[in-house]
Amino acid sequence: MNYVYLKRLYDKRAELEAKLELHDARYCFGEEEVDDGTDIDLRQRLSEISEEIATLESRPGR
């Protein structure tokens, strides 16, 4: 398994989660311009990365 690649995926997922949290917080505080679909894009990218991580972790020889 490529542990460097897996680590990068973990780091990218953490980065996207932080961006989503910030986006959600801005929306909660009434910044209307944040309702531009960014949250949908972030959630989709998080889902894709999480699926890739799960696939890599479930491979034999880990």
pLDDT value, residue 37 = 83
- Express each pLDDT in 43-61 by its tens digit: 999 999 999 999 999 987 6
Q: How far apart, in Å, do the first and last CA atoms of the chain sit?
A: 6
Task: Locate 32 and state its tokens.
Answer: 């209307």
Report d(CA 24, CA 1) in Å as an integer: 35
Closest CA to 34 of 13, 49, 19: 19
Closest CA to 12 of 59, 53, 40: 53
What type of residue sits at position 50? S
Weakest mean pLDDT among 10-14, 19-23, 33-37: 33-37
Whole-model pTM: value is 0.81
